[in-house]
Amino acid sequence: MEQLKIDNITVDVVQKNIKNIHLRVYPPAGRVRISAPSRMDLTTIRTFVISKLGWIKKQQTRLRNQEREAQREFINRETHYFNGKRYLLKVTELNAAPKVVLKHSTIELYVRPETDVLKKKSVLDEWYRRKLKETVPALIEKWEKRMNVQINEFGIKKMKTRWGTCNRQAKRIWLNLELAKKPAECLEYIVVHEMAHLLERKHNDRFIALMTGFIPKWRFYKDELNRLPITHVDWNY
C-alpha cells in the first residue's frame, strides 16, 4: 500500500483491478483511503486528491466533532436508544434464558447471575437485530412497488463506516445494526438509498434526482443521522 502526504493529510492508496477511483474518509479520526485502478499513476491520484481536499477536510471535521456515546457498561439506569427514543436500562438477574422486554421508558434486560458485559451486549444486540428483521421486510415491500425494483435478500450486520450497502448483481442489501437505535424515518431513508442503487450505481445527479423523487426530505434524514450520537467503538486500523 502506498501513502501520499498532501497538505498535512496522509492518504492511504490501494490500487487494484477496478474501473473507477473511490475516496473514503473513515471515523473516528478521519483516516483517508483511496482505491484506484491498477493502471492509474500516482501523479494522477495525487491530482485527484488535491481536487477533493476541501471535501476531505469537511468530512474530517464532521467526524471529529460528532458526539459519541459513552462506552456502555450495561448497568441499571444507563441510557440506551431504540427507534430514536431514549430508554433507561433495567438489568434483572434470573436463572432463565436471557431476554429483552421493551417498556414505556425502560429496556429491561434479563440475564443469568454474573453475566459479563460482553454477553449482556450480545443479548441486547440480538434483540436489536430481531427488531430490525421484523421492521425491514415491510419497508422493502412498500418501496419495491413504488420503485419497481426487487430485493432478493437483506441482512443486518455491524458496520464501522457505512449505514448500508447494496449488491446490485445479487439484489441484496445489508443494513447497519445501529439503525435499530435511530428514528424510523432514518431507517427508511437508508433502505430506500440502498434500493435506489439497483436503479443507479453511482451517487451522481441521476441518483440524487431519484432520491428526491422518492423521499423529498432525504437530505434532512441524512443530516439527522450525522447529527445523532454514534456508538462508542474501539476502532482498530
In a domain, 235, yes or no: no
Residues 92 and 142 in one domain: yes
pLDDT at 67: 58
Per the structure, how many domains does the chain have? 2
Residues 180 and 219 in one domain: yes
Residues 105 and 216 in one domain: yes
What DSSP line would sit under 51-92, residue for residue? HTHHHHHHHHHHHHHS-BPPPP---TT-EEEETTEEEEEEEE
Tell me the residue range of the domain where 103 lies: 79-227
Residues 109 and 181 in one domain: yes
pLDDT value at 27 more than 90 = no
Could you give the CA distance from residue 76 to residue 72 in angstroms, rounded to a whole number? Answer: 11
Residue 3 has a CB neighbour count (10 Å cut-off) of 9
Sign of CA dihedral 78, 231, 62, 226: negative
pLDDT value at 69 more than 70 = no
In a domain, 74, yes or no: no
Lowest mean pLDDT among 41-45, 94-98, 113-117, 221-225: 221-225
Tell me the whole-structure pTM to 2 decimals.
Answer: 0.74
What confidence tier does 31 reach under pLDDT thresholds 50, 70, 90?
confident
Lowest mean pLDDT among 15-24, 149-158, 195-204: 15-24
Q: End of a domain among 13, 37, 65?
A: 65
pLDDT value at 231 more than 60 = no
In a domain, 122, yes or no: yes
Q: End of a domain among 42, 65, 88?
A: 65
What confidence tier does 160 reach under pLDDT thresholds 50, 70, 90?
confident
